[in-house]
Amino acid sequence: MRLREAGRGPRMRRAATAVGLGLLLTLSACGQNAAGGGQEAPEGDAPEGGGVKVGVILPETDTSARWEGFDKPMLEQAMRAEGLDPDIQNAQGDEQKFSTLADGMISSGVQVLVIASISSDGGNTVAEKAKAQGIPVIDYDRLNLGGVSDYYVSFDNERVGAIQGEGLVQGIGDKPGAQVIEIEGAPTDNNATLFYNGQQTVLKPMYDAGDLSLVASQAIDQWDNQVAGTTFEQLLTGNGGRVDGVVVANDGMAGSVITVLAKYGLNGQVPVTGQDATADGLSAILRGDQYMTVFKPIQEEAEAAAKLAAALAQGDTAAADAIATQTVNDPEAGRDVKSVLLDPQLITRDNVKTVTDAGYITPDEICGGDNAAACSELGIQ
């Protein structure tokens, strides 16, 4: 699963930095969460309307800053670099909107549809409609279980979970019987299952051996960041206010958990995990409120999706197969789906700089106020 290591050369770093500059524009216009979109096409890309139409539907804005902050501008740029003319929309967590957007794209003549679905059911309905019109479908980031999509582009999501488990154990250190609460992603998102499974490869043997003690594990519908906080608070108070570590599936929900920990004077003492290397997540790591996050170089994911879409728009399945050389099993459909699965990376305080150096987050976004000293100590500038 480490085959993308070779791709992390200087070329990739340049590409990511260029996008980082584009991102900077978006971020300064829209505030720290980068949820506003409106990214201008970077210079040198194919002119609008000039290429083959590709439809992209992203699932949500509120569940993670990644979708509008990273995926949207990076897909836009990567697709234009392939000579495609992308129409990138966000369903805002609304299944009806997801389906309406897809109908609009199909009737507007997109040649390829790229979907990051809210749920497998919603994604499958759309993929079936597109395929009935002869439009190839790529599942982006989230695999639609029981689905019909032609390809899948994502990260090794069990590995993401394993990194979270390893990070938690590292953060807890030597504390026999440490009490752990798990706040997991949406049950309708296959990724949430994979993250959980990956975490358990590390944690379950430790629970079984009594090295760690599981207080409760709770999945959060629709990755709702607020609900994650209220759920965590109930579990914490139900456990007499005692917790030694919190597995949280992403940075957005981790932010809510940290707010609750702060309310009880526990922030900074209890390691919290995350994912997505968002500005808020990295800031919390520098402050000492969050122990780790998972950096998923979305630029690589966007480029793989763009290359695949370009090949499929030409009807060149041999070229597409040469890109998607891995497979994932869809147990519900009973099939192996041709895939690109990229490598995630553990980020703790010591290597936050990796993310700023790669251009995903600017030092400005995370080095303000109390974090200034940490940034200068870590050489983030």
Q: In whole angstroms, what separates CA 330 from the centre of its chain?
A: 20
φ, ψ at 76 (rounded to 5°): -55, -50
Tokens 């998607």 -> residue: 324
What span, in angstroms and rounded, lies between the C-alpha atoms of 246 and 284?
14
Inter-axis angle of helices 120-132 and 95-107, to 10 degrees?
10
19/194 with CB nearer ligand BGC: 194
What span, in angstroms and rounded, lies between the C-alpha atoms of 123 and 99?
8
**Smallest distance from ligand BGC to CB 214, Å:** 23
**Smallest distance from ligand BGC to CB 271, Å:** 19
What span, in angstroms and rounded, lies between the C-alpha atoms of 255 and 270?
13
**Smallest distance from ligand BGC to CB 59, Å:** 7
> Among candidates 136, 145, 22, which has minimal Cα distance to 75?
22
The residues of the shown chain that bind ligand BGC, judged by CB under 6 A, are 60, 63-64, 66, 141-142, 185, 189, 191, 223, 250, 275-276
What span, in angstroms and rounded, lies between the C-alpha atoms of 312 and 54?
10
Strands (E) located in 185-325: 212-219, 245-248, 292-295
Q: What is the token pair recorded at 120?
A: 């497998």
**Smallest distance from ligand BGC to CB 30, Å:** 18
51/274 with CB nearer ligand BGC: 274
What span, in angstroms and rounded, lies between the C-alpha atoms of 65 and 72?
11
302/374 with CB nearer ligand BGC: 302
**Smallest distance from ligand BGC to CB 98, Å:** 14
223/232 with CB nearer ligand BGC: 223
Q: What is the token pair recorded at 248?
A: 């949280």
64/200 with CB nearer ligand BGC: 64
106/227 with CB nearer ligand BGC: 227
Q: Is the dihedral of CA 2, 299, 157, 291 positive or negative?
A: positive
Inter-axis angle of helices 279-287 and 251-263, to 10 degrees?
40
What span, in angstroms and rounded, lies between the C-alpha atoms of 53 and 37?
20
64/99 with CB nearer ligand BGC: 64
51/123 with CB nearer ligand BGC: 123
**Smallest distance from ligand BGC to CB 99, Å:** 19
**Smallest distance from ligand BGC to CB 227, Å:** 13
| 234 contacts: CB under 8 Å, gap ≥ 6 | none
| Helix-, strand-, coil-residue percentages of the chain, each rounded to 5 | 50, 20, 35
**Smallest distance from ligand BGC to CB 305, Å:** 14
> Among candidates 84, 81, 41, which has minimal Cα distance to 312?
84
**Smallest distance from ligand BGC to CB 122, Å:** 14
What span, in angstroms and rounded, lies between the C-alpha atoms of 328 and 201?
18
77/293 with CB nearer ligand BGC: 293
**Smallest distance from ligand BGC to CB 181, Å:** 19
235/254 with CB nearer ligand BGC: 254
